[in-house]
Structure 1
Amino acid sequence: MKATAWMGRDSVKVVDVPDPRIMNARDAVVKISSTAICGSDLHLYHGYIPALRKGDILGHEFMGEVVEVGPEVDNLAVGDRVVVPFPIACGNCASCQQGRYSVCENSNPNAGVAEKIMGHSPAGIFGYSHLLGGYAGGQAEYARVPFADVGPIKVPDEVPDDQALMLADVLPTGYMGAEMCDIKPGDVIAVWGAGPVGLLAAASARLLGAERVIVIDRYPYRLRLAAEQVGAETINYEQVGAETINYEQLDVLDELNQLTAGRGPDACIDAVGLEGHHGNAAMYAYDRVKQAGRLETERPFALRQAIMACRSGGVVSVIGAYGGFVDKFPMGAFMNRSLIMRTGQCHVQRYTRPLLEHIVRGDIDPSFVISHRMPLKDAAKGYRIFQKKQDDCTKVVLKV
């Protein structure tokens, strides 16, 4: 079969690989119809995630048709159209029983490696390095799905691929980011990052009752989407406080204070993660140099800003992907102002069915984040235009 393989830093290629097969009684094999390139895939593309090997098959957002099931999979049948959550979860361990599927205790066969970096291991994830299981991803013609009796859900015929595919990751992740904010009537929510996850976090905040949503980014076309599709207020940080030469939070912080009468947002969502950018040249250079030397693994501009901007006693919700260690974490602000931080890879299996019901009812259409559709053979082109933000690219879906 054809699959998208990582070939080295900033390089992917569609190559021929062996077809997947049933290896466990709870497996299924899915013939993929649609798969997507996620912002988190760009961290792999750039080589920032450890334990990635040349030839690894990428992709953790995919859906398609079941073509084979193991003998213990009784909830799916050949021919079912399904969407597959990106965390792989057994459904039986203590974490899964409590709905914390992304920290399943049984699905990462390389847990010992992850424990050396993180203390304890999270779940295995499709196409996301050997640190998280070494599972082949879904940017391919077929995929093996472990624990298929727990993860995939059937998709009604009336729900198109472009909507259903967003249930694999970006819609549940954005929704969980908003849910962690404990939104109450009248709340103001600020979202860093107008990529697909940030846009859907903003839309979910609206769905959960936020009075105002403010989205921070530097790309005008993405901010236009936030305004037009979500009704958000927007801040382009490259046009705010251009004369500022002080600590990097000041420009966005001042703007948010003006928009909230000096109080700050009730909750702040970091939908950016480890490859953050900021207009402050000194701080950007500092983090880039330390990241290049692996003295820190992240560029946490959005996280720092969210902590400084959030009102005292508010919530900082972190759904942008991080992989290791950050520098200059504003612990004094975090502790002294009684802030709450909630975070995690999304527990997708918890949200797929309720969010599918929202889609069917017309409460939300997550497909507005898709800007490009192209065949699987053009995956390398898709990565390039997504990484470079060319042609107003927000989300690339690969059709198989």
Structure 2
Amino acid sequence: MRIKNWGIFAFIAGYHVLLLALLPAYISVFSWESLVLFGITWAISVFSITAGYHRLFSHNTYKAKPVYEWACLISSSLAIEASALQWSHDHRIHHSHVDTDKDPYSIKKGFWYAHIWWMFTYNDPIDERLVKDLLKNPRVMFQHNHYGLMTIAVNLLVVGIGCFFMHPIAALFAGFFMRLFAIHHCTWFINSLCHVWGARTYAKELSAVDNAILAFFTFGEGYHNYHHTMANDYRNGVRWYHFDPTKWLIWSASKLGLVSDLRWVSDVKLRQILVKKDKNLLLERICQEIDETSKELQNKLVSLSDNFEEKASALMAKVRELKNATEERRKLLEIEIRQHKMELHAMWKSWIKLTELTSARYELEHAH
């Protein structure tokens, strides 16, 4: 595809070349302080994208006070990934049109297109209808209108401070070029590798996958299949053992009063949605098959999914009732809720077995 954004191409290609060219000089003046500078600035830049650009501005998974927003917007200058307005605009289009030609960084156009090449060819103007909320945010608009100056000032400040503790070449290499290389490729791998290598844990119809290795390097963003399934959840790693420092940062900020209204999806609601998705996907796969086994599977899928939906809705209704129940009614409701959860858990295990059986049969039929 023809390059349209020559400025972006020159910047990205240029710093990669300079990174290699300065490597011998950096080795000759290496200091451990330079690695500390790299680690601190890299971590701050990652958080500015994950907690700020992504989960706050793009998806509104929580609300933040102005001081928190300013912290995200200013520190994002270390990442150099465009303004929050532009980044969020492109990302919202990605979610609305994932895996289609309208997706700015569609994996269907190839791994390297999704990873980096899209930035050199995609230059659609901002559609104000998609970012009405951000256009009303004075802090976001200030950053958008003064992005170049803010970026230059913050990066000069960081490298300048580094020069007090290490050789200027070491400060420039580790505190700018090496940091940019790391944060950029970590972000870009979410668009490329996290649509290729991993598990489709939640939404089997999407190219997005969950990748625990990438989650480690991107502070939780690697749980990408869940994110595409539940984009309005402030968490990407929803299990206790998932490595998601971004959700820990947001949760901690809420305890300090810096953010509020954290949006999250309960396990029951999540499983409800997954059952609906799986049912529709599997019925679509086997609806053309007319043998008795296929008909039986279709009936079981419909019956079990309907029962699960009914039981889950009843459970959530009782949970809502529990909030305003009398002490006597509360005890009875707690017993009923525990019973409903046990039944739902058993139904969920049955659903997993049934979907695995249906998928295996479909794959076997189409393998011949």
Task: Return the structure number with greater helix share.
Answer: 2
- Name the TM-score, length of structure 1 as normaliser: 0.25
Q: Which has the larger radius of gyration?
A: 2
Superposition TM-score, scaled by structure 2 size: 0.26
Structure with the bigger percentage of strand = 1
